[in-house]
Amino acid sequence: MSTKVETATRAGTAVGLPLERVDAGEKLRGQARFTGDLDVGRMLHGKVMRSPLPHARIVSLDASRAERLAGVVCVLTGRDLLDLPSPLYGHALKDRPIVAIDRVRFAGEPVAVVAAEDEATAEAALALIDVEYEELPAAVTIEEALAPDAPLLHEGPQRAGLFHGLGELGEREGNVCYRYHIDRGEIEAAFAHADVVVEGEYTFPAVYQYALETHTVIAEHRPDEITVWASCQHPFLVRAELADLFGLPLHRVRLIVPYLGGGFGSKSYTKMEPITVAVARKAGRPVRIRNRVDEAMLTTRRHGLRCRMRTSATAEGRLLGREVELWLDTGAYADNGPRVTATGGDAAPGPYRWAAYRVDAACVYTNTSPSGSYRAFGATHVQWIGESQVDEVARRCGLDPLELRRQNLCVTGEELRAGGKPLDADLIGDVEKVAEAIGWGRPRQRWRGRGLSVGLLAAGAHPVSNATVRLESDGIAVVLVGTTEKGQGARTVMAQIAAEELGLPLERVRVQGADTRYTPYDRSTGASRSTTLAGLAVQRAARDVRDQLARIAGSDPDPDEYVALMRRHFGFAGGELIGVGEVRPRGTGSYAEGPVFWEVCVGAAEVEIDPETGVVTVLRTATVADVGRAINPKLVERQDEGATLQGIGNALFEEMLWIDGQLANGDLLEYRIPTLRDMPAEMTCIVVENGDGPGPYGAKGCGEGALAAIPAAIVNALADAGVPMTELPLTPERVWRRIRELEKEATGG
């Protein structure tokens, strides 16, 4: 991607203004349509039967009693998939069957699907399906999966998914499906000459990307065509996988995406779409499958992590080397695990000026529910670990943690990863801003602490986006772009960019939802890429329209003249001008050449600990949204506030727990998510606009960095208060036990 800053010739009509969301009215009135609100003619209701065991061979499956139940149209089982070109799919690796065929690999894996006239009948039919299992040994934890005698979850050669995109596939090593390695310099020398070495082992749990709307899909299968209405973030990638699975050309698969009720990565890539299409194929009628929350938690989650890290430095606080081994629990199927592993590996050194580093990262299969994307994946996993070691170096050297970062952080233009994009942000300035916001220099009270956090996230994903802008004869501009509106304000930002370029008021711009039959191609909605890449395509498409108008008028026309110009051009009150915009990679677009930009993950926090209970209260937070140019500042602030609250949840209490391979807290009563009561009394979002992004008007994405930064800042604040921790979440029990351990160590007990 080019880093050239593009500046609008018409300034201030829309971009940079905190304009009201274009979807606010219909959402507030309850008129917005989500997939669950749709009712396709002759639609059936699907219910999924799930495995009760984490690992077992399917000895027999008899659905005859269920099929005889009045109101049941069909029951889908693995036998119904054998005529497909391949019943396996997967974003990175083709390793997942639509429904289990010969064995199950996690408790909750789909084994059969009932399609019936109503949900109650479909639910009742599940109890009539008879399945006999032969239980197999299970590897539920990373340690069990890596053991020499571990049961193998997958055998035979690996098959790359359509979008693996991470170079050579490599051979599977036991239950390790992917490895990622980076290094720089002489790591042994960096530790041999060190005065200070900090090392430790750390764990980060699996967590759930809770969104108000669960996964919902409606599918209609005809002999030569598939139509799907889905709550998915990446309609074009899902379309490609469905076409591949069911042996159809791309143009015969249509994905329609209404509004999404949140995503956070839980609806990234392909989730419930294949199973819904498969049962619709057998039923010969449209079918809807709508997950309950407990089912959604078994569909996707964030990877759990084990990590060993060492950091070395001189007595003066100059960072020398970092050595990292990390293992990510991808569950029973790879999903996006390889990319999460690579992104975590890239984030592990942190944005410091190292003499040497070495990172070895592994993506590990376990007999648990599959892991996928979750906002700021990779960076959230490891930033808290690396930043806690940086703070420990500062303590041992007698330095202020802020000063140590000033001395060691990379500066704009420095190389961060061999062959990758140089740093495109002022990290020192960013961390100084958040430090000031939480009162860094003020005296600290007993059992209170403050922490800083600095990191980077490889953002942008594959830089391919297209957009179309149509100027209608009545002067209304219609924007067609594949970005999914999932609550982040994408339709508003796209409308603002088109309005800015055309000089129109926002109310004269319409942005349609994604429909792969009519909407131009957009790679995905994630990786903080929408404003940067899809927005750039919209800007170029709108400029194309404006250039056409200028040619018609013979000069740059006033927007009030558009209708008259078009009437003159077409000779009547009809016709339209169509502008197209394209964004594509300058090189191959490979992961190694990326990222499109480095997303800044900078934050600070002040916490208070109750030493009698171990309860941690977050008093104040500060984050930086280093966005290049804020297309809509209020949307930027709301993005960081939401990410901050999620970061607090990840840091303090969110954790998926398995007992004997069963998810023990698979509902919102047992799995706690942040509420308004968990909000800090003071939350500061600092918007930094340096015009240094590759997107429209120098913009670059935001919304993920705060989630990676806040857990790290909280961990460091806790250590500043005297309670260093190496395991998340920081539950009251864990913190209380750590306080007691430290008291014993202090008294020699």
d(CA 655, CA 649): 9
d(CA 631, CA 674): 28
Contacts of 215 (CB under 8 A, 6+ apart): 231, 266, 267, 271, 272, 289, 290, 291, 295, 296, 299
Cβ distance 209 to 649 under 8 Å?
Answer: no
d(CA 148, CA 135): 20
Secondary structure of 87-135 in HEC code, one letter for each residue = CEECCCECCEECCCCCEECCCCCEEEEEEECCHHHHHHHHCCCEEEEEE
Contacts of 107 (CB under 8 A, 6+ apart): 50, 51, 52, 53, 54, 298, 367, 368, 369, 661, 662, 663
User: What SS3 state is found at 497?
Assistant: helix
User: Considering only CA atoms, which of 138, 126, 119, 113 is closest in space to residue 53?
Assistant: 138
User: What SS3 state is found at 659?
Assistant: strand
User: Considering only CA atoms, which of 601, 617, 604 is closest in space to residue 730?
Assistant: 617
Give CA separation, 335 vs 17, 75, 301, in Å.
39, 26, 11
Residue 436 designated active-site: no
User: Considering only CA atoms, which of 453, 518, 506, 447 is closest in space to residue 480?
Assistant: 518
Q: Are strands 44-50 and 287-290 parallel, antiparallel or unpaired?
A: parallel
Contacts of 125 (CB under 8 A, 6+ apart): 47, 66, 69, 72, 75, 114, 116
Catalytic residue among 704, 733, 741, 745: 704
Residues marked as catalytic: 704
